[in-house]
Amino acid sequence: MTETMRWFGPNDPVSLRDIRQAGATGIVTALHQIANGDVWPREAIAARKARIEAAGLVWSVVESLPVHEGIKTRAADWDGLTERYRQSLINLAACDIRTVTYNFMPVIDWTRTDLAWPMPDGALALRFELEAAAVYDLHILQRGGAAQDYTPALRDRAARRFHAMTQEERDRLERTIIAGLPGSEETFTTAQFRDALAQYDDVDAEALRANHVAFLEAVCPVADDLGIQLVVHPDDPPFALFGLPRVVSTEADVAALFARVPNRSNGLCFCAGSFGARGDNDLPGMIDRLGDRIGFLHLRSVQREPDGAFHEAAHLAGNADMVALVAAIHRLQIREGRSIPMRPDHGHQMLDDLSKVTLPGYSLLGRMRGLAELRGLERGIAHMAALQ
């Protein structure tokens, strides 16, 4: 695998020098300063690339080139938005950047309910808890029709929990969910979040899938010509949330998308943590079956808990069988004669980073630990395969 790390640009507390010393050779980044729906100028892309190369690294993958909500809802300005997306792809290709990550999650990107959940060793992890999401949805946001999305038992637990919370705890939960996590495309106030959800009142899962297909049919021919692979990041968490459909959550979802849009540029960012939050996703098997479409890897492991909760485990722990998963990736790379960009994802906040200002999930030391573990695992698997 080609070892990379995500970097959020010049304001990231983790520097390019830090990433290089961690052993990565590639950078995964985006022009976060540019508003969703606007064209990424060639000059800005070239300047970011030059800065990365001056640090002795390579801009390997774009993560992410955002898909505007107007594309996801098929709004009136859909044609203009897709044309600007195509132009951004043209500008990226002109700078020789050929792997572009995106997602098709409505309104909110990846979502957690706790950004500092204590682990037994004293490190802090990200956690999603469906009960906490229900507290926010039912009692803070007070979304119309929310009650039907939760079981009576969960509604009762959420009510008791809400009434036991302080106002500070309620505010923290709301900020965690809607204020925007690293790499998220939007941040919201409560009123703005309600308005954004309302845009999807008439967009169910079937309509969202159709809009996703329409988007790919509009941009993939250009991507094909440019030699760009668009890799879709799966839903995180991989199930409907706050009444919003999510349609890139399972192997069947992804396989159907490839069948509908067979262009070679229609690819997958395989996120082991996102897919792994569902027990019905067979991670090594998905590598074997979908491998020719995989252009980027996020390797992390979650520990599933009862009642729809999960937390970020250490990279070699949790529910993902990382040994089997990396072995499947090794077979894929040998079979296709390529090295796939990989980044360790969502490391624990640990050691000296506990006393520093860090981006949730993207502190240096937890990701560096994960990268080292994954590097050793891959080399061990490669060595054993060579002996057979």
Q: Tell me if residue 362 is catalytic.
A: yes
Q: Tell me if residue 346 is catalytic.
A: yes
- Phi and psi at residue 302, to the nearest 5°: -110, 155
Q: Tell me if residue 345 is catalytic.
A: yes
Catalytic residue among 298, 315, 330, 348: 298
Catalytic residue among 139, 233, 315, 330: 233
Catalytic residue among 137, 345, 348, 353: 345
Catalytic residue among 68, 236, 271, 348: 271
Q: Tell me if residue 200 is catalytic.
A: no
Q: Tell me if residue 271 is catalytic.
A: yes
For the annotated catalytic residues, the residue numbers are: 233, 271, 298, 345-346, 362
